[in-house]
Amino acid sequence: MARIIVVTSGKGGVGKTTVTANLGVCLSELGSKVLLIDADTGLRNLDLMLGLENRIVFNCFDFLDGKCTIEQTLVRDKQTDGDLLLLSLTKNGEERSISEDEMKDIVLKVSDKFDYILIDSPAGVEEGFRIAIAAAKEALVVITPELASIRDADKVIGLLLSKSIPQEKINLVINRVRPEMVQRNNMISVDDIVDILSADIIGVIPEDKNIIISTNRGEPIVKDKGKSLISQSLKDTANRIGGKKVPFLDLESNWIKRLFFKRQRS
């Protein structure tokens, strides 16, 4: 049975799709069989980030309508050295959306074929979010060091808990951290993050403008094999998800230390 992990946030544009695509590549290169499910039915872009947009022939509606098997809906990423596949829940122009039960059925049908199923969810906490989390047993909550993102994540964590995802299965990925802002003490107040810190931090990903180039090319940034800080931090995050104890990079530990230090004082 696969570990079924939803990647979510509440606030849009914080990096869910970027994190999903890159963690998918890392986990598969570490030897796991990985399925990525694009549950962002509004803005489908996981396929673009992986350079797979022209390879999707069938989507889940074709399967639900009996036009193909579930296996035919899965697109293999041939650029990755491991087993990485993508399932899109929609196609451009499609108005329909699947139900929570259909989502659960689809995930159940494929879960014995994979070690990990990562589900990329849409922004917000409405219908699309509920469908994305319907089958999940764990969650990665992506935040950026901004108040709006942290407040939304807090709401999302509450909803995940109410959907029976236990607290120890909810981990935070803090994205777009800028070390120079940390040093200048310009980052968000810790008072606002304390509640959310009741979930463990599993990854801290720096801001890197090269993401734009990698997205445009359809090549996740981790394809540079850990040569950049961002790529290393994503790889470390994948290893931690796999259960390894990987120390945080300097950038990360400085940030976390500061966070805890301020928390103790307050």
175 binds ligand ADP (CB under 6 A): yes
Q: Which of 8, 9, 17, 88 binds Mg ion (CB under 5 A)?
A: 17
The least distance separating ligand ADP from the CB of residue 129, rounded to whole angstroms, comes to 12
Q: Which of 5, 14, 34, 143 binds ligand ADP (CB under 6 A)?
A: 14
12 binds ligand ADP (CB under 6 A): yes
Closest CA to 120 of 235, 48, 16, 219: 16
With CB under 5 to 8 Å by kind, the binding choice for 149 among Mg ion, ligand ADP, none is: none
Phi, psi of 156 (to 5 degrees): -65, -40
Window 25-54: contact mask with Mg ion (x via CB under 5 A): ---------------x--------------
Q: Which of 215, 231, 232, 237 binds ligand ADP (CB under 6 A)?
A: 215
205 binds ligand ADP (CB under 6 A): yes
212 binds ligand ADP (CB under 6 A): yes
At 166, the amino acid letter reads P
Q: Report the distance separating Cα 46 and Cα 22, nearest Å.
A: 10
Strand order across the beta sheet in which 116-120 lies = 75-76, 83-88, 33-38, 116-120, 3-8, 138-143, 170-177, 200-206
Report the residue number, 17 or 171, with the smaller CB distance to ligand ADP.
17
- Positions that interact with ligand ADP (CB under 6 A): 9, 12-18, 123, 175-176, 205, 207-208, 211-212, 215, 230
Residues engaged in binding Mg ion (CB under 5 A): 16-17, 40
